[in-house]
Amino acid sequence: MQGGINAWRGLVAEGIPEAGMVYFSSAVGLEEMAGLAWLLEDGNRRFYSGIAEGVSDEKAKKLFSDLASSEERHKSALLRIYLKKTGKLEDRNFPSSVFPDAAHNDIMEGGISVGTALEWAKGKALTELLELSMSIETNSYDLYLKMAGKAGDEKYGNVFRVLSVEERDHLNRLNLLLEKQQH
């Protein structure tokens, strides 16, 4: 492999493994983890939707649109975790019912502001957008693995593991397009 993950010159993970759980302290229950992850997924969805609108490359446009749709499905899975755990049939206010300030959420995975990321993305080369997206997906993958371990229940842990596999798939798809861009 010439490019892609082997040519990565972006940010690397540092510190102890728990560092990625900054919002998920040991006092946080499964309902809160699902709510916070939902907020991050929503931020990722808005970011990918914005990027899809701004790129001219048709393959990239499709990939970013697909990623946005996938993040929407992840939000649905996280809502189901919350509903099962709480025993509710529905909660139209989720995640605001868990986090009242959630309506003003502008954060995506990695603690990046969606608005700031989209502003940064203006005028950037596709390779730079792919590299940032790979970083986002790596953080999401890592976060879901950590959440699976903290879930405290195998069935909920399995949902987080499935989400981590999907994030890894996103990372692989981004890597393939990045490799094509570098050739």
Q: Backbone phi, then psi, for 54, in 5-degree steps?
A: -100, -10
User: What's the pLDDT score for residue 148?
Assistant: 92
| Structure-token pair, residue 62 | 């499709």
How many structural domains compose the chain? 1
Whether residue 175 is contained in a domain is answered as: yes
Q: Which CATH number belongs to the domain containing residue 100 in this structure? A: 1.20.1260.10
pLDDT, averaged in runs of 10, over the chain (183 residues): 40 39 56 91 96 96 98 95 92 88 79 92 95 94 92 89 95 96 84
**What domain range includes position 100?**
28-181
Residue 75's pLDDT is 95
Whether 163 is covered by a domain: the verdict is yes
Residue 169 has which token pair? 């798939």
20 part of a folded domain: no
Q: Residue 2: inside a domain, yes or no?
A: no
| pLDDT value of residue 103 | 65
Amino acid letter for position 180: K
**Residue at 36 is within a domain:** yes
pTM, to two decimals? 0.84
User: Residue 30: its pLDDT value, please?
Assistant: 87
Structural domain contains residue 23: no
Q: Where are the alpha helices (H) located in 55-153, listed in sequence order? A: 58-86, 114-121, 126-150
The answer to whether position 18 is within a domain reads no
Is 14 domain-assigned?
no
Do you find a cis peptide bond into 95, omega within 30 degrees of 0?
yes
Q: How far apart are CA 72 and CA 110, in angstroms?
A: 18
Residue 12: its pLDDT value, please?
39
